[in-house]
Chains A and B, each alone.
Chain A
Amino acid sequence: MLADLIALQQADAAFPSGSFAFSNGVEGLAAADPGFGEAALARSVAAALAFRWAGTDRVALILAHRADGDAGRLAAIDAAVEAASMAEPMRTGSRRNGASLLAAHARLGTPGAADLRRVVREGGLLGHLPTVQGALWRALGLPERSAALVSGYQFASGLTSAAVRLGAVGAIEAQRVLSGALPLIAEHLERPVPEPEDGAIVLTGLTPFIEIAAMRQAQAELRLFAN
């Protein structure tokens, strides 16, 4: 029961993590398409879940959770996330978001958070969001499955709430899109996590349209979000 409540707390948009400032490409998509609305958002969320979250963020988070605080393993996972994030705004965004989440947990006194933050500051870790989430949520006692669930929900709701603040969709439309994403998250959660015997970290993901949109938006004079 307590683990469920902790999961709700971590998934709550009111938990300070800095995530609200990252659209993860939605601002670029909306800027590129004047007709970007509910249908386009739904397609984008589905694509991002299938071709980014499921094979990259989800896998990295689960592996970080399984690392159980092993600094070397976390660094290797982090390096793999870095390598799998070809678009600079997404790569930087993930690191900044991870740093913000760490800042909150360090101040809250979450076990291991201050030390994890020190390792990031000293260059031992890059501090990508899924790596940090996996490590912190394990330390908080969240089971792996719950941690992955929270990650998937936040990934999708972050995209839909950014679209609301951009004025691309209404709050009700956003919830409709999010409702449509929930079965997709559930489906992706059933996918196995590749864990070869040699310890290799296998991350797969390709969302060129979203990433190009994010890279274009990073050059824009006017923008509301960090990516």
Chain B
Amino acid sequence: MTAHTHSHTHLPAASDPAPVTAARIGIGGPVGSGKTALIERLIPVLQARGIDFAVVTNDLVTKEDAERLRRSGLIDPARVEAVEAGACPHTVIREDPTLNIAAGDDLEARFPGLQLIVFESGGDNLASTFSLDLVDWWIFVIDVAGGDDIPRKRGPGVLRCDLLVVNKTDLAPHVGVDLDGMLAEARRARGEKPVIATNARTGAGVEAVADAIARAVLFAP
């Protein structure tokens, strides 16, 4: 293959990186805890509040989560980006978040005025944490059916996230979980950091999650 040079214009001198404008938040948590379901519930709530947002998903083995959101009818499919995790869901949000950073930057370039970008991690384990190079603030989602001993195990995800969401509260009586005890344990483990109980199937608790996002990164009162 051959090609020829066209000009000899040198690149301009170094300058500061372009400023990041949209707030970036992460949503992580174990497989099946309800991250995508929570986002599906959050979308209409954020839209009703007039928030201009987009989503980047990190599916582990498919683009299923991205396709689920694109086909949901809830959001312009162009506002959903999928980033492959190369078999390492924690790497793409922590050790090497550059693919996600680039995807977020692309969304900002395509949608000027974007206020919020939500990065959904692929399902991982309790040690999953987001790099603050990628996000300003992040949520960790666990679910009641995963067992009421999850908060007691004090994984880094549970302890270090800015907001812990305990999802699938409706399942507590069916899986032998004392929900109040589980929430109390989670609050003990996290000290001052917030915990919100949700049922993404019915939407219970989702407004409170949206309030927390708006207060944390969108300067809502």
Q: A and B from one assembly? A: yes
Within 8 Å of chain B (Cβ to Cβ): is A188?
Answer: no
Residues of B whose CB lies within 8 Å of any CB of A are: 1-18, 60-62, 83-88, 91-92, 95-99, 101-102, 105, 109, 133
Within 8 Å of chain B (Cβ to Cβ): is A180?
Answer: no
Q: Are B10 and A202 in contact, with the CB atoms below 8 A? A: no
User: In the complex, what residues of A have CB within 8 A of residue B87's CB?
Assistant: 165-166, 224-225
User: In the complex, what residues of B have CB within 8 A of residue A31's CB?
Assistant: none
Within 8 Å of chain B (Cβ to Cβ): is A141?
Answer: no
Main secondary structure of the interface of A (DSSP, over half): helix
User: In the complex, what residues of A have CB within 8 A of residue B4's CB?
Assistant: 76, 198-201
Assuming the contacts A83-B1, A103-B102, asked whether A72 and B9 have C-beta atoms less than 8 A apart, the reply is yes
Q: Are B99 and A21 in contact, with the CB atoms below 8 A? A: yes
User: In the complex, what residues of B have CB within 8 A of residue A22's CB?
Assistant: 86
The listed residue (B12, B61, B96, B105) touching A16 by CB distance below 8 A is B96
Q: Are B5 and A73 in contact, with the CB atoms below 8 A? A: yes
Number of interface residues, chain A, beta carbon within 8 A: 62
Q: Are A115 and B5 in contact, with the CB atoms below 8 A? A: no
Known: A112-B14, A222-B61, A224-B86. 16 other contacts (CB 8 A): A14-B95, A16-B96, A21-B84, A70-B9, A72-B8, A72-B9, A99-B102, A100-B101, A106-B17, A106-B18, A110-B14, A113-B17, A199-B4, A202-B1, A223-B84, A225-B84
Of B10, B13, B18, B84, which is in contact with the most chain A CB atoms at under 10 Å from its CB? B84
User: In the complex, what residues of A have CB within 8 A of residue B96's CB?
Assistant: 16-20
With A and B bound together, what is the CA distance between A142 and B46 in angstroms? 47
With A and B bound together, what is the CA distance between A71 and B12 in angstroms? 9
Q: Are B99 and A18 in contact, with the CB atoms below 8 A? A: yes
Q: Are A20 and B86 in contact, with the CB atoms below 8 A? A: yes
Assuming the contacts A76-B4, A80-B2, A222-B61, asked whether A100 and B16 have C-beta atoms less than 8 A apart, the reply is no
Q: Please, could you name 26 A-B residue pairs with CB atoms under 8 Å apart, sorted by A?
A: A14-B95, A16-B97, A17-B96, A17-B98, A19-B96, A21-B83, A21-B84, A70-B7, A70-B11, A72-B8, A72-B9, A76-B6, A77-B3, A80-B2, A100-B98, A102-B102, A103-B101, A113-B14, A114-B18, A115-B15, A116-B11, A118-B18, A121-B109, A201-B3, A222-B61, A223-B61
With A and B bound together, what is the CA distance between A74 and B7 in angstroms? 10
With A and B bound together, what is the CA distance between A80 and B3 in angstroms? 6
With A and B bound together, what is the CA distance between A72 and B7 in angstroms? 5
Q: Are A100 and B99 in contact, with the CB atoms below 8 A? A: yes
Expressed in whole angstroms, the minimum distance between the Cβ of B120 and any Cβ of chain A is 16
With A and B bound together, what is the CA distance between A115 and B10 in angstroms? 11
Expressed in whole angstroms, the minimum distance between the Cβ of B129 and any Cβ of chain A is 15
User: In the complex, what residues of B have CB within 8 A of residue A224's CB?
Assistant: 60-61, 84-87
The listed residue (B6, B10, B18, B84) touching A69 by CB distance below 8 A is B10
Instruction: Report A72-121 residues with CB < 8 Å from chain B CB.
Output: 72-77, 79-80, 83-84, 96, 99-104, 106-107, 109-119, 121
Assuming the contacts A16-B97, A200-B3, asked whether A221 and B62 have C-beta atoms less than 8 A apart, the reply is yes
User: In the complex, what residues of B have CB within 8 A of residue A110's CB?
Assistant: 14
Expressed in whole angstroms, the minimum distance between the Cβ of B47 and any Cβ of chain A is 28
Q: Are A83 and B18 in contact, with the CB atoms below 8 A? A: no
Expressed in whole angstroms, the minimum distance between the Cβ of A122 and any Cβ of chain B is 10
Of A22, A72, A165, A222, which is in contact with the most chain B CB atoms at under 10 Å from its CB? A72
Interface 0/1 of A138-182, CB less than 8 Å to B: 010000000000000000000000100110000000000000000
User: In the complex, what residues of B have CB within 8 A of residue A166's CB?
Assistant: 87
Q: Which 7 A-B pairs have the closest CB atoms?
A: A72-B7, A21-B86, A100-B98, A111-B14, A80-B3, A165-B87, A16-B96
With A and B bound together, what is the CA distance between A15 and B98 in angstroms? 10
